[in-house]
Structure 1
Amino acid sequence: MNIELNQADILNPMEVLKNWIKEVSDDKKQPNPNCFSIATTDQEGVSNVRMVLCKEINITDGYIVFYTNYNSNKASELDFQSECSGVFHWDNYGYQVRFKGYAIKSPKNESDDYFYSRSLGSQVSAWASDQSKCISDREELNKQFDAVLKKFSIKQNQISANDKKLPRPPFWGGYRIWIHQLEIWLNQHDRFHDRILFQRNLSFKNDQYITTQDWRKKRLQP
């Protein structure tokens, strides 16, 4: 890379995250530029990781949002241990962001609004899938999809036309990950990379995490 990270210029690392996602998205060369890994911990202390999509970045409050089935393994693990970690990585650009934070369920109205913005087919899928649970074969899964079509009186041509909206399933919604640690990594020649670590304290109040301090930052060796 021909650019460097200037520690003094970065006051809020969330702005860097949002700008990098926008840059990669605008290039239209990488599928799912808003994709990130999220690692959770089960009750035996074993970590599990998977990829999800970031659907919102709140720069001011310092959280990101993803959506999932609240009965899934990841949701069960977040209910047990809300602290999680994750990574955004854009290899072609030499950008990476690592973070740690606390995942708290999004407000219901926020989850409603996002669910209504999804295509009808995606809404049906959310109702049809008992995420992470075993199933005998694909045919059985298709039957569950068809059962949802019947339940809501949906015809196949309506899915392609996208002319109907379903209510949000009570077992589906968003999580806000309130970030307390974030590392910005920029690829450099000879593996002499730029790394800047940002940290802040969070305090819990009224089912939300609120910041108690500004971001603190320090440069890390590669």
Structure 2
Amino acid sequence: MAADELLPEPLPADPLPMFATWFSDARVRNVQPNPDAMVIATVGENSAPSARVVLCKRLVPDQGFVVFFTNYDSRKGRELEEHPRAAAVFHWDAMHRQVRLEGPIVMSPAPESDQYFASRAFESRIGAWASAQSEPLASRGALAAQVEAVKERLGLQKATDGEVPRPPHWGGIRLWIDSIELWAEGAGRIHERARWTRQLTKKDEFSFSGGPWTGTRLNP
């Protein structure tokens, strides 16, 4: 990799602007599908880990959180309610970069969830009502029937028929970052790694205030 693609020396005091730049680069270059995809790991019963891919729909670097949207009654939603902490990984293979995040999670404020839900395609909004995410399903036909039942109940067969309200069990989740690792691929597998941590103090139902970051390089 070129020198300007590696981690700077000395390390920046705040890693979030660099994360924001990498995230923006991945979306602008668009050299791989779904550049905003991230793996979210949660903890379930008996401390069993669980991971899945979601889409990061918002990064707020000045405050230090990312946002994804989901069914709160899904497996990840239930696990996050029970253990409100998560880890996330972005892997931009084509750009030779990776970012790891850890921190507490909170639900997004209702206006944030409403705004994003309203921007989704009509079919996706109907699907949020129709799918009991993570629950057993008898067949593909059964899911299609659930979709039609929702359309009939809401009196909406197409987008021009009216607005689809946001389900109360669907919305955003904010992962507030108290640990971040930036990784850049190096020659001969001598990769560049650095990790930063900070203390978060709860401000209100949706937000934290962050202390100063402490960063260190790591062996690859």
Give the TM-score normalised by the residue count of structure 1.
Answer: 0.93
Residue 210 (str. 1) matches residue 204 (str. 2): no
Residue 109 (str. 1) matches residue 107 (str. 2): no
Match of 2:124?
122
Shift of 1:9: 5.5
Quick one: structure 1 residues 7 and 211, their matched pair in 2 at CA, closer, same or farther if it must change by over 3 Å? Answer: farther
Question: 2: distance between equivalents of 1:149 and 1:193?
Answer: 52
Give the partner amino acid of 1:2. Answer: A
Question: 2: distance between equivalents of 1:134 and 1:45?
Answer: 23
Shift of 1:11: 3.4
Quick one: structure 1 residues 134 and 29, their matched pair in 2 at CA, closer, same or farther if it must change by over 3 Å? Answer: same
Q: Is the 8 A contact 2:65 2:174 kept in 1?
A: yes
Q: Residue 87 of structure 2: SS of its match in structure 1?
A: strand
Over residues 3-25 of structure 1, what are the superposed CA-to-partner deviations in whole Å (9 max), with x where a residue is unaligned?
Answer: 22114363332222222222122
Gaps of 5+ in 1: none
Shift of 1:31: 1.2
Match of 1:139?
141
Gaps of 5+ in 2: none
User: 1:65 pairs with 43, 64, 67, which one?
Assistant: 67
Question: 1: distance between equivalents of 2:208 and 2:117?
Answer: 26
Shift of 1:212: 4.2
Q: CA RMSD in A?
A: 1.5
Report how many residues are paired: 218
Q: Is the 8 A contact 2:198 2:213 kept in 1?
A: yes
Q: Which runs of 4+ in 1 moved over 4 A?
A: none
Q: Residue 8 of structure 1: SS of its match in structure 2?
A: coil
Give the partner amino acid of 1:220. Answer: L
Give the partner amino acid of 1:49. Answer: A
Q: Percent same amino acid at aligned positions? A: 36
Q: Show the 5 A alignment for 1:23-42.
A: 23-42=25-44
Give the TM-score normalised by the residue count of structure 2.
Answer: 0.94
Q: Is the 8 A contact 1:128 1:148 kept in 2?
A: yes
Q: Residue 193 of structure 2: SS of its match in structure 1?
A: strand
Shift of 1:115: 0.5
